[in-house]
Each structure stands twice: as structure tokens, then as C-alpha cells.
Amino acid sequence: MTVEFQTVFGSLQDYAKGELEIINDSPKNYAFSNVFDVASRSAAYEKVVVAINLGYVLETLRAEGTSPWFAAAHDEFAIVMDGEVEVELLKLDAPAVPASKKGTVQLDGSPVGRRMGYVKCKRGHQVLLPQGAAYRFKAARPGVILLQTIEGELSKQKWREICYT
């Protein structure tokens, strides 16, 4: 017997937000959002926090056009949730972020370093953004990135706008 399965992924164009069925609780306790919904209402490369755990965050970024250069004093990981995103990486000659500083930092202009190369990602691809590198994203069409990082100066928390209340 052959069973046909269809795997359903979401996209900016086609997503359905799930539901909260409350029996005896506050909906806010679940901080329930949807990354495609968040990205559909975000500015390009705005870093919107969708999950936080004592300083660690997952952020949703709308990928559209070319981002500024970013760097962090620690590893970060990006998962492309929709679209096609090219990630360009540069090995910095000197650390752009002090070791004690957490989270992503935006670099002015073009940072100085050696080209490490680039990675072309499609939906479901995960890329390492290694400590000591600067990186920027390029997307010809709007896409969605889920970023694993630490809360930093660029992290935006707007729970009331993105979550069921």
C-alpha cells in the first residue's frame, strides 16, 4: 500500500497561524506568534524576538535586499524559513565586538577583513555565522530567517504586536 504524504511548510505568501484553546490559563503565558506573520509585518532585516530564554533569543528577520554587515562576539546560527538568501562572510582583521558584549552588532560601512566566501541558502537550510566573522544577507525576493543568538542592541521585543493576548 502506498500512502501519499504532503509535507506542509509555511511561507510569507502562504501560512496559517495555529490556535490557542484556553481552558484555565492566560494566553500570554504561551507568547504564541508565527514567524511568517511577524516577517510579513517587519522592515527588512529588523530583528524581532519571537522566543527568549533568559538572554538567549530566537529572532525572526525579514530578508529583503542587502542587509548591513553584522558581527557578534559569539557564534550565531541562521535557518532560512522561506525564500533564497545568500550569506556573505568576511574574516575580520580585528574583532569588531568586545568579547564581553552579547548579541548582534551592526557594523558601519564595509568592515576590513579577508573574504571567507558565501553560502546560498534555500528553505530549510541552516548556516553557521561563526564568531570572528562579519556577515551580511542578500535576498532578491522577500524571505524569512530564524536567527539563534543572544539578546543584543538590535533585538526588538514587541510581544503585544505579535502574540495572542
Applying the rule CB under 8 A, the residues between 124 and 153 that interact with other proteins are 124-128, 130, 133, 144, 146, 148-150
- Under rule CB under 8 A, residue 46 binds other proteins: no
Q: Which is nearer to other proteins, 85 or 107 (CB)?
A: 85
CB 42 within 8 A of CB 135: no
For the bound state, the minimum distance from the C-beta of residue 44 to other proteins, rounded and expressed in Å, comes to 19
**What is d(CA 95, CA 146) in angstroms, rounded to the nearest whole number?**
25
Q: Which is nearer to other proteins, 8 or 108 (CB)?
A: 8
- Under rule CB under 8 A, residue 109 binds other proteins: no
**3-11, 61-69, 93-101, 104-112 -> range binding other proteins (CB under 8 A):** 3-11
CB 104 within 8 A of CB 154: yes
- Under rule CB under 8 A, residue 23 binds other proteins: yes
| Grid coordinates of 98 | 568586545
**What is d(CA 140, CA 83) in angstroms, rounded to the nearest whole number?**
9
User: Residues 50-89: x/- map of binding to other proteins (CB under 8 A)?
Assistant: xxxxx-x-x---------------xxxx-x-x-----x-x
- Residues in the interface with other proteins (CB under 8 A) total 72
SS3 143: strand
The closest alpha carbon to 153, from 86, 71, 90, belongs to 71
Decide the pairing of beta strands 47-53 and 155-156: parallel
For the bound state, the minimum distance from the C-beta of residue 142 to other proteins, rounded and expressed in Å, comes to 14
| Grid coordinates of 122 | 534555500
